[in-house]
Amino acid sequence: MKKLAILGATGSIGASTVSVCRSNPGLYEITLLVASTSVDKMFALCQEFTPRYVAMSCNRATLQLRELLKNANLPSQVLDNEQELLQLLAGEEVDAVMAAIVGAAGLKTTLAAVDAGKEIFLANKEALVMSGALFINAVKKSGAKLWPVDSEHNAIYQALSPRLQNTIGACDLPGEGVSKILLTGSGGPFLEKPLAEFSSITPAQAIKHPNWSMGNKISIDSATMMNKGLEYIEARWLFNADKAQLQVVIHPQSVIHSMVQYKDGSVIAQMGNPDMRIPIAYVMGGEQRIESGGGFFDFFSTANFSFAEPDFTRYPCLKLAIDACFEGQQSTTILNAANEVAVAAFLQKKIKFTQIGQLVERVLNCAGGASIESIEHLLEIDALARLNAGEIIKRDYLC
Ligand code: NAD
Ligand code: MG
């Protein structure tokens, strides 16, 4: 049995991962679970899976969980600090890692597993977006096996030849006859909403995605389509794609999860229910298809498939991300950091929905697009962008 660590175990992707484990007993032994504050959910996971190790990033949660485990006589050991966690991820207790912490908070742990050459199931797109070439170079250096979990990138991966699948991060797309990657997105809950009503959109409205059930941050990113922008950058790095090889296509039904167009005019699409257990089962199965629990898509109960080009006046965040993608590493690091601050502020009702894109644009305008040579430099740029975003909110935006 392969030893699995789930980073972000109590979240939406964490729950889907655990569900795939339940559907396939005997495939993985869960040795490490990591989360932030959700003590009750983590305790329930410990009761069910008795992982050898658990880590909570919040100190209070660490103490509470330790107490609960002790009272229940459960053997899972709660780690003391991040250093212990990073060591464990690099050691023999872990073969494969589901990287599903949300946001930049997942970068260090994911990179620790990459550096140690583990098998990486990558859901945490922000880690790749913020570190780009540094991340891909670390994968190349260690020989880590990188599997895309994000449904679009998983779909693209499935539509590529084995040669391209085996050179993730350094794909020669034209060499294998690929002309374009078609990245599909539903357009989120506001595809038809009059633009004049955008400034009064509430967090509760924005979180309600029409097709997917996901964590709060990615749900807001889907409503602004920053999510598709982050995925555009993610695709650039995973598949070594240039601007002419990437196109965003609105497909409101979320049945086609993305497509690859070849030079002979063939288009290969991956389809299925909008259920993350399907791409998760694909990566966890490795060479073999396994049960996902995601069900089978019913072609006879679906009215139509439709497609449209994205309208950037409706989705300014998507345009910002596409522009930042080829400007240099600083731009995508700043874009990601400013967006995280903006989304958190919107969820706390400190700024309006329309101010998310405005804020990201203003923070991007504060800096150039120079390259970033080290993780330390990257974290400095990230921190500065967050500071700038926080100051702009305080000064100009507070609702
Ligand atoms: P979520 O908010 O539901 O869960 C986030 C998880 O991360 C939780 O377990 C939380 O405890 C943990 N976490 C947060 N901060 C942490 C920290 N500092 N240290 C340790 N753990 C921490 O989010 P989600 O929807 O599951 O998304 C997770 C990631 O997967 C995101 O990067 C998202 O973009 C990506 N993703 C999600 C989906 C989806 O359908 N939910 C699809 C594709 C990609
Ligand atoms: Mg996605």
Q: Which pLDDT tens digit goes with each residue over 155-198?
A: 999 999 999 999 999 999 999 999 999 999 999 999 999 999 99
pLDDT of 123: 98
Residue given tokens 């097709």 in the structure block: 211
87 has a pLDDT exceeding 70: yes
286 has a pLDDT exceeding 90: yes
At 243, is the secondary structure helix, strand, or coil? helix
**What is the mean pLDDT of the segment spanning 49-74?**
98
pLDDT of 302: 79
Q: Is 34 in the pocket of ligand 1 (CB under 6 A)?
A: yes
Q: Which pLDDT tens digit goes with each residue over 303-339?
A: 799 999 999 999 999 999 999 999 989 999 999 999 9
Question: What phi and psi values does residue 5 have, to the nearest 5 degrees?
Answer: -105, 135
Q: How far is CA 146 from CA 82, 110, 159, 316, 378, in A?
A: 23, 11, 16, 31, 21
Lowest mean pLDDT among 6-10, 35-39, 252-256, 367-371: 367-371
pLDDT of 209: 86
Q: Is 14 in the pocket of ligand 1 (CB under 6 A)?
A: yes
Name the closest ligand to CA 8. 1
Boundaries of every domain in the chain: 2-148, 327-399
Length of the chain: 399
User: Ligand 1: which residue has its CA nearest to atom 31?
Assistant: 102
At 298, is the secondary structure helix, strand, or coil? coil
Which segments within 186-335 are labelled E, that is strand?
A: 246-250, 256-262, 267-271
Cα-to-centroid distance, 245 and ligand 2 (Å): 18
Which segments within 186-334 are labelled E, that is strand?
A: 246-250, 256-262, 267-271
Residue given tokens 């872990």 in the structure block: 94
Cα-to-centroid distance, 32 and ligand 1 (Å): 16
Residue 83: how many other CB atoms lie within 10 Å: 9
Return contacts of 78-83, CB within 8 angstroms, 24+ apart.
Answer: 78/53, 78/54, 79/53, 79/54, 79/55, 82/57, 82/108
Q: How far is CA 26 from CA 8, 23, 29, 99, 126, in A?
A: 22, 10, 7, 21, 31
Closest CA to 168 of 136, 197, 190: 136
pLDDT of 267: 98
Rg (CA), the chain: 20
User: Is residue 63 within 8 Å of 41, Cβ to Cβ?
Assistant: no
**What is the mean pLDDT of the segment spanning 2-24?**
98
142 has a pLDDT exceeding 70: yes
Mean pLDDT score across all residues of the chain:
96
With cut-offs at 50, 70 and 90, classify the pLDDT of residue 370.
confident
Q: Is 347 in the pocket of ligand 1 (CB under 6 A)?
A: no
43 has a pLDDT exceeding 80: yes
Structure tokens at 169: 């991060």
**What is the mean pLDDT of the segment spanning 211-228?**
95
CATH topology classification for 327-399? Rna Polymerase Sigma Factor; Chain: A (1.10.1740)
pLDDT of 369: 66
Candidate from 7, 12, 58 with most ligand 1 atoms within 8 A of CB, to mutate: 12
7 has a pLDDT exceeding 70: yes
Return contacts of 384-390, CB within 8 angstroms, 24+ apart.
Answer: 385/333, 385/334, 385/337, 385/338, 385/341, 386/337, 386/338, 386/340, 386/341, 388/338, 388/363, 389/337, 389/338, 389/341, 389/342, 389/359, 389/360, 389/363, 390/341
Nearest atom within ligand 1 for CA of residue 37: 11
Which segments within the chain are labelled E, that is strand?
A: 2-7, 28-35, 53-56, 77-78, 96-99, 119-122, 145-148, 178-185, 246-250, 256-262, 267-271
Structure tokens at 307: 């497609």
Q: Which helix (H) or strand (E) holds 240?
A: none
User: Is residue 154 within 8 Å of 283, Cβ to Cβ?
Assistant: yes
pLDDT of 366: 86
CATH topology classification for 2-148? Rossmann fold (3.40.50)
Q: What pTM did the predictor assign?
A: 0.97
Burial track 254-279 (b if 16+ CB lie within 10 A, e otherwise): bbbbbbbbbeeeeebbbbbbbbbbbb
